Structure 1
Amino acid sequence: MKFRFVLAIIAAKAAIIFLRMINYGGTSLPGKIALLIYPGILKELSSSFKVIAITGTNGKTTTSRVIAQMLKENGIGYIANKSGANLLNGITTTFIEAVNIKGTSNVSTALLEMDEAAFNKIIEHLEPHVTVVTNFFRDQLDRYGEVYSTLNSVLTGIRKTPGSALVLNADDSLCASLGKDSGNKVVYYGFSPSAWNSTENTLNNDAAFCLYCKAPYDYENRVYGHLGGFICRDCGYRHPGSTVTCTGIEELNANHSRVKLDLDGTTVDTVINLPAIYNIYNALAGCACGIAMGFSHDSIIKALSEFEPGFGRMEKIKKDDKSIRVILIKNPTGFNQVLDYILNENNDENKSFNIAFLINDNAADGRDISWLWDVNIEKLGKIYDKIITAYVSGTRGPDMAVRLKYADFDTKKIKHVEDYNRIINEALETTPGNGTFYILPTYTAMLDIRYILKNKFKLKEFWE
């Protein structure tokens, strides 16, 4: 056995223990240390695992949690980067934490969320058995560039893994293109035209034009953003059809969705253990992965109703008869879908609620926060009277306050507070019984407030 290989594992494991003793996550730095000592460590460790990779702009963590529950239902032990550390260093840490100093583990499946911009680089170190791609939207332009750059990066990575089964969003013209002429086995998922057709008139800024001939797309139905039944009338590129399909939505409430699904020709009714339209897509992605892996329909359906959401992804925290919902926001499309969820849940005349927008511009959030002006915050005008206080905080809290002002918020309701503890205490005090306090943070703000919430309400660590 190679000395440097063993040394890398020992050093990384020691780093994990030390960093967690001082309440630092220890999810990325140990992997960096290991790669510096032995650059080939991830390739060697991953070779004994069946890897399931999840990438794309939105929904990676929730889709991972759905698939994790399916693995449990099928009695399959696995490792996963639950912390969301989805770059090369974080994935390396995940493997090192799971193996002994000889590099062996008692499980042989790895469920790995992978950053879409880093996917091409990560794939050089491992080969997925299944690759799930959720969607492509504009996100952190200063880091990712335009959405086509991200698409091409993922495409390059997929071409390196001809043996990987692909699970692709058929409603996303960009994502669906990855399966065109790929030679890989492909399982598509999406909505049927009759299941959902949004009446909201929103601009399609991400993929309005055909990827192949640049003509504008027509749509048989639009779910949200550029997702839906797309067709190019000029060259014929169109929605490829789907193996896993949402054929009807029976109920959307504050806690779950009840839907009809077609699983490769079998119709089933099921409950998805999270609310909102965008989480139905995440559930469909998980189902399609289950089909690709040969899981039974019963285990797939059971998993949908029992999986636990990831930290900060529609995470619900109870305080007596009140609730806190922590919902990550990171790009215009995702933010708009969160606002739609809040609108849907507060259309009762008697409801009122508090909301906090925690906006940072650290490297992991994206330095450019101009995307806030692409969010249709004005739609909250329908329920302005139900908002008790709109808190703004974070390094760019004042920018968010300006955005709210231009969305015609009553400035008397906008409150800039830097102290997260104070926001939580004040908001819970004024939230009515059976009411909800919504916290909408960007990524690093989510980690900060999640740490406070963990201590206050004795929650799990974010890496658990």
Structure 2
Amino acid sequence: MKEFFIKFRLGLAIIITKLTVFGLRIVGRGGTSLPGKIALRICPDIFNRLSDRFRIIMVTGTNGKTTTSRIIEGMLQKAGLEYISNKSGANLASGIATTLISALSLTGKPIVRTALLETDEAAFRTLAPKLKPEIVIVTNFFRDQLDRFGELYTTLNSVREGIQGSPESRLILNADDSLCASLGQDTSNPVIYFGLGDKVYPEDYLIANADAAFCINCKSRYEYLSSSFAHLGHFKCPNCGYERPTAQIECTQVLEYDNLSSTIEIQMPGGKIAVKLAIPGLYNIYNALAGAAVGHMLDLKEEDLVYVLEGFECGFGRMETLSVNGRELKLILVKNPTGFNQVLKYLMTQKDKCVIGFAINDKLADGTDISWLWDVDFEILSFMQEKVRRFFVSGIRAEDMAVRLKYAGIPSDHIFIMHGETELVYSLLEASNENETIYLLPTYTAMLDIRKSLKKRFNLKEIWE
């Protein structure tokens, strides 16, 4: 009788979730999280019930989850595997429940067998042991939304607990991140590491390691042979000897690097490949390496890896490029100091005139504490002022962003405050000329609002497509 009620609850959850998604999509809503919340209320153990119906790949970490997941999608397609994924970025338990149920028939049979799940770091702790992923990719760890995640090592330990509860999972870890690499210590899980070779980054970079300056094992200060950004690099503890592990997937050379793309050489276990990435930015080289590692696990040929990496298309809001009224609008999500600094560093490669907009919200999904803006190196924007026609700020905390730019050395008469995403988009278009680039840097909820406005005006794809 007990088993009957469990099956009944699962079946009811599937039917009601599908009906809710259908209804929400009809009225133009995403239907990515609410249906999953309903499913979890009806059948709290739904993840345990569904785990054996899918081959599950989970992607977690602070930055790069969505972009890495999109690259892995290309790898799955090239391998001829049908899959489901949470493309919208709804990566909490509710969003993942919606995603899995959408890949089931009304009778609970899987329509596809592979599920690629971008997963929030805090949620990973409880979800991974229930879902039993075949592959787990961890991108990196940085300070992010202190009001929700708390101290950095709390986030690390959440992921560690999830991995400990998934002893059969194969791990793909960032060798250059001392925190991420530590997940491969003393574990029985098979591990593949990815990272940049020593001194391959094309620019000198001052090591500014505030997040993980000290050894995770003995608390001595790390020494670095080279660094890419933040605490990522070839680290070594002079006391206990903990050091960057050997990377099986490694960028051995950066051949070209500008605001449009990066051409790199990657050492794979079977040999070297040269790839012109379709996306710019140092952080996207790391994302590409993580994706290549999954391709290697799927036994793709080297030419197939190159095909995917060169043809990759950005996910919504992650270096997404839109053609709008003869201008190129680049929508780039920002959410923490390290990621924001890398975006600003990317902006420094801009060669022609441009317009830059910021949209800063402080809703729960953005992080209610915006003091992190003062940890972002906006001062470097003063070196490219002659290329920026105007700076625009918008969002709930527009005034705070304007003050931050002023203290970064941007003249007040170059900073314009806009209230509302429609007004912001209109002003950005008005301030730019044809064939120029508009950079729009929003936090998460601001990005959703902006994209909704852009979709109405320019008929964009839905975020879940």
Match of 2:131 in 1: 126
Q: Is the 8 A contact 1:198 1:222 kept in 2?
A: no
The CA deviation string for residues 107-133 of structure 1, in whole angstroms up to 9 with x for no partner, is 110000000011001124201100000
Q: 1:189 aligns with which of 188, 191, 194?
A: 194
Q: Is the 8 A contact 2:138 2:172 kept in 1?
A: yes
Distance 1:383 1:254 in 2: 14
Match of 2:311 in 1: 306
Match of 1:376 in 2: 377
SS in 2 for 1:104: coil
Distance 1:303 1:162 in 2: 30
Structure 2, gaps ≥5 residues long? none
Question: Is 296-305 or 443-452 further displaced after alignment?
Answer: 296-305
SS in 2 for 1:47: helix
1:83 aligns with 2:79: no
Match of 1:16 in 2: 21
Q: 2:245 aligns with which of 240, 246, 249?
A: 240
Distance 1:392 1:258 in 2: 33
Counting matched residue pairs gives: 460
Question: Is 24-33 or 428-437 further displaced after alignment?
Answer: 428-437
Distance 1:125 1:163 in 2: 12
Match of 1:212 in 2: 217
Match of 1:416 in 2: 417
Match of 1:164 in 2: 169
Distance 2:260 2:63 in 1: 20
Q: How does 1:62-101 map to 2 (within 5 A)?
A: 62-101=67-106
1:435 aligns with 2:440: no
Q: CA deviation at 1:202?
A: 4.9
Question: Is 329-338 or 2-11 further displaced after alignment?
Answer: 2-11
Distance 1:300 1:265 in 2: 12
Q: CA deviation at 1:320?
A: 4.4
The CA deviation string for residues 194-241 of structure 1, in whole angstroms up to 9 with x for no partner, is 311652335211101111111111111100000000011111000001
Relative to the length of structure 1, the TM-score reads 0.97
Distance 2:420 2:190 in 1: 51
Distance 2:403 2:395 in 1: 14
Distance 2:51 2:453 in 1: 35
The CA deviation string for residues 331-372 of structure 1, in whole angstroms up to 9 with x for no partner, is 000000000111112xx3xx2211111000000000100000
Q: Is the 8 A contact 2:250 2:268 kept in 1?
A: yes
Q: CA deviation at 1:24?
A: 1.7
AA in 1 matched with 2:217? Y
The CA deviation string for residues 258-312 of structure 1, in whole angstroms up to 9 with x for no partner, is 1111011401111211111100000001111222333222222211011221100
Distance 2:318 2:207 in 1: 24
Q: 2:337 aligns with which of 318, 332, 340?
A: 332
Distance 1:91 1:168 in 2: 22
Structure 1 residues 190 and 215, CA, compared in 2 at 3 Å: closer, same or farther? same
AA in 2 matched with 1:245? E
AA in 1 matched with 2:223? D
Q: CA deviation at 1:39?
A: 1.6
1:283 aligns with 2:288: yes
Q: 1:111 aligns with which of 102, 116, 119?
A: 116
AA in 2 matched with 1:447? L
AA in 2 matched with 1:460? K
Q: Is the 8 A contact 2:199 2:227 kept in 1?
A: no
AA in 2 matched with 1:272? L
Relative to the length of structure 2, the TM-score reads 0.97
Distance 1:326 1:425 in 2: 15
Taking only aligned residues, the RMSD between alpha carbons, in angstroms, comes to: 1.2
SS in 2 for 1:367: coil
Distance 2:359 2:194 in 1: 33
Question: Is 244-253 or 371-380 further displaced after alignment?
Answer: 244-253
Question: Is 317-326 or 352-361 further displaced after alignment?
Answer: 317-326
Structure 1, gaps ≥5 residues long? none
